[in-house]
Amino acid sequence: MKHLIACLAIATLVAAAGCKKDATPEATATHAAATADSGGSLKGDFGPPQGKPIEAILTSPPHVPPPTGRDYPAKVIVELDVVEKEMEISEGVTYTFWTFGGTVPGSFIRVRQGDTVQFHLRNMPDSKMPHNIDLHGVTGPGGGAASSFTAPGHVTRFTFKALNAGLFVYHCATAPVGMHIANGMYGLILVEPPAGMPPVDKEYYVMQGDFYTSGKYREKGHQDFDMQKGIDENPTYVLFNGSEGALTGDKALTANTGENVRLYVGNGGPNLVSSFHVIGEIFDKVWFEGGTRFNENVQTTLIPAGGAAIMDFHLEVPGSYVLVDHSIFRAFNKGALAILKADGAERPDIYSGKEVDAMYIGDRAAPNLAAVSTAAKAQQSGDLTVEEQVEAGKALFAGTCSTCHQPSGEGMPGVFPPLAKSDYIAANPKRVPEVILHGMQGPVKVNGQDYNSIMPPMSQLTDDEVANISTYVLNTWGNPGGRVTKADAAEIRKVKPANASEGH
Ligand SMILES: [Cu+2]
């Protein structure tokens, strides 16, 4: 009965046939394509809401609410809380995020095309700022922004009809808009097409954002928002789901081989465009720009700031698949990296090989850098013992230095000199922090072998990181021992030695 009313509504509006109860998704898609140019957004108006109002199920990332499963338009009530809270942006680094629903990105909202959405925005009493919401799926000035301006401790309400199907970004639009978005105020709303999305085995919610902190990448402690970096479009972090490691280690996305996986991927910006790619997979389908058409067999899909895309792929080969922004320095040097772990039996007929992703992704996939955060805390409260420095330095060495000098410190003959039992280090232990901070180039003999290459300076490391890595190197692999303090590192940072590399 309800279905019939909906059909009549469509029929009167676009004079379309083919609204049969047994219509297959394909038939519906054809129908939609046929009328795409004639009906405009009106084709999503299936008349007044029917049945009892429905409370929308909201989910935190990376989870996606279940399909609405409805074939009629309903009144859907959405209650979204604005929460300002301190969270980790990277291990040992905190940041005051502004959120929709307590997470970055905000809660995922799922409705059906033609639904009437009654939207309640509640700004927590302990918030310091007023906020509002602009949903890109709203037809009406400001996308709801003016009607939802909400002071701390207030709740506002507005109602819209979801006329267009698609995956839409929502975000705060309170001035300064860039700052509200940069602090994490964005999320996704899926407006399902009338027949729903084709069923898959797993659905996940991933959203990219760029972040601007006063300190450098991975600089420990609390970091403030840096407006100038935001204006300059020079992010400190580029992240999936609001923190480095949100989707790696034991928080990686999971699936099994033989399954179809769907990603709902948004880009909150505020500034960067994402070249979204999954290393080792090809998207079978991409609903590009979050719209109703899909492309097939896609390697990398472009997601604009304030835009989204839906992608499906089938998993054949077990292992770790790395989600990246293929503007690749963002992935390996600013955090834009996530992991999807596929479990299942090997498929040597499709892929033979030797897994190398531990080296490729370095420490970014490690579930914890506990030693680093211990060191960060100890550093806040006073002095570190040599043992604590060694522990923290060990964790940082993995991934920072081990890529070239190898986890064993043995280096690679003729290419990367050894740090283990290095006579170059033994001759003057101060060389370790010097080389880290200023790099090194030109001919050098280490343990009787000649090297003539370049090590880039690693001046992005903080003074205590340099101190800890140096102390670790000095106290490991038969090196002479000793200690480098934070103050030593600060001193060495100021003076560039003769054989320093010109890189950076
Ligand atoms: Cu806001």
Q: Give the C-alpha separation, 265 to 353, whole Å.
A: 29
pLDDT < 50 positions in the chain: 1-38, 356-360, 362-371, 381, 502-504
DSSP character string of 120-147: EEEE-TT-SS-B--EETT--SGGGGTGG
Gyration radius from the chain CA atoms: 27
Q: What is the pLDDT of residue 503?
A: 41
| Tokens of residue 356, six digits | 């190398």
Residues 6+ apart with CB under 8 A from 136: 143, 168, 169, 170, 189, 306
* 304 Cα to the center of ligand 1, angstroms: 20
* 170 Cα to the center of ligand 1, angstroms: 11
| Tokens of residue 273, six digits | 């465009």
Q: Give the C-alpha separation, 306 to 313, whole Å.
A: 24
* 143 Cα to the center of ligand 1, angstroms: 14
Q: Give the C-alpha separation, 215 to 231, whole Å.
A: 16
Q: What is the pLDDT of residue 18?
A: 36
Contact 476, 430 (CB under 8 A): no
Q: What is the pLDDT of residue 396?
A: 86
* 443 Cα to the center of ligand 1, angstroms: 55
* 380 Cα to the center of ligand 1, angstroms: 31
Q: What is the pLDDT of residue 15?
A: 36
* 150 Cα to the center of ligand 1, angstroms: 9
Q: What is the pLDDT of residue 405?
A: 86
Strands (E), 283-423: 283-287, 295-298, 300-303, 307-314, 319-325, 337-343
* 177 Cα to the center of ligand 1, angstroms: 7
| Tokens of residue 116, six digits | 């009437």
Does the global pTM surpass 0.75? no
**Cα angle 211, 213, 217; round to 5:** 90
Look at phi and psi of residue 384 and say left if phi exceeds 0, alpha if psi is from -120 to 50, else beta.
beta
Q: What is the pLDDT of residue 380?
A: 55
Q: What is the pLDDT of residue 347?
A: 86
Q: Give the C-alpha separation, 137 to 134, whole Å.
A: 9
**Cα angle 53, 70, 157; round to 5:** 35
Q: What is the pLDDT of residue 348?
A: 82
Instruction: Tell me how far apart the terminal alpha carbons of the chain are, to the nearest angstrom.
Output: 69
Find, among 158, 167, 81, the residue nearest to 116 by Cα: 158
* 131 Cα to the center of ligand 1, angstroms: 4
* 172 Cα to the center of ligand 1, angstroms: 5
* 252 Cα to the center of ligand 1, angstroms: 29
